[in-house]
Structure 1
Amino acid sequence: MGLKNKIITKGFVVAGLMNLSVLIFSRFFTNSTIPETDPVVMSNFGLLMIAVWGLAYISVAKHYNSVTWLVAVFALVKLIYGCIWTQWILNNDIADVYKKDTMAGMFYSVYGINDWLFFVFFLVVFITLLTTKKKAIGV
């Protein structure tokens, strides 16, 4: 495994750990401010599914080159969450969330930035995998 592969593998692990951080921000689903602030996307079930996606990212960290189209799905998921966060941030006052709960305010401040960054990461990995495989088969 070359240096580039090690960095990409670490990227998948970091993406997973960032998703698993919802357990900290939500205080293991006991922080009521997060789901009250966005009950559709950030319900306790939604937070649990974010953690599950994090486990998925970690699970393929060393085998990402075998699951090209799953990496595309990861990029799509991050794109969706990034768009949802952008819409939320444009239509809400983050200061109101901080007044209710600092951890929830921190969560809403950063989760979308994280999703946009990892959208780019997964998209670049996906494109790299596609072009590498095309070159390997002579297309």
Structure 2
Amino acid sequence: MAIKNITITQGFIIAGLMNLTVLIFSRFFTNPTIPEFDSVVMSNFGLLMIVLWGLAYISISKSYREVKWLVGVFVVGKFIYGYVWINWILNNNISAVYKKDTMAGIFYSLYGINDWIFFVFFLLVFIKIFKMPSSLSNA
């Protein structure tokens, strides 16, 4: 499956923008429900780090070929967040979150799906870059 360079650039930008939606769901870190239901990963600090990851995705959207190992780090990061989400979904009651705050419920319902989608995207990009001859991957 060949992915065009413009599609990859757009994918990095979309991945970053999706991470920035944390600002909406957390109401700019003022929504206490998100950290309440996962005080480790989704603390306000954790949410801020999600924003930072998003900015990192956007920052390499046009130079991803030059930082293939960073793309590999993104693959691992998305895998970890996706795995943590599955664990959370299996061990928590999502309806309790919705009962307290609809935005937090939507956030917990969707964030892992987003992470798995971009895990696959970053993995495909990483494989594509890794297979490129060195002169092309740095062009």
TM over 0.5: yes
Amino acid at match of 1:75: V
Q: Which residue number in structure 2 is paired with residue 30 of structure 1?
A: 30
Which string of whole-angstrom CA distances, capped at 9 and with x for unpartnered residues, describes residues 47-94 of structure 1? 000000000000000000110000000010000000000000001111
SS in 1 for 2:39: coil
Aligned-pair Cα RMSD in Å:
1.6
Name the CA distance, whole Å, in 1 between partners of 2:16 and 2:107.
16
Name the CA distance, whole Å, in 1 between partners of 2:7 and 2:113.
20
Give the superposition deviation at 1:134.
6.3
Q: Which residue number in structure 2 is paired with residue 52 of structure 1?
A: 52
Runs of 4+ in 1 over 4 A off after TM superposition: 134-137
Is it true that 1:104 corresponds to 2:104 in the alignment? yes
Q: TM (normalized to structure 2)?
A: 0.94
Name the CA distance, whole Å, in 2 between partners of 1:105 and 1:49.
20
Give the superposition deviation at 1:135.
9.3
Aligned length: 135
Match runs of 1:1-139 below 5 Å: 4-133=4-133
Name the CA distance, whole Å, in 1 between partners of 2:93 and 2:74.
29
- Percent identity (aligned): 67
Q: TM (normalized to structure 1)?
A: 0.94
Give the superposition deviation at 1:133.
2.5
Name the CA distance, whole Å, in 2 between partners of 1:65 and 1:57.
13
Query: What are structure 1's unaligned runs of at least 5 residues?
Result: none
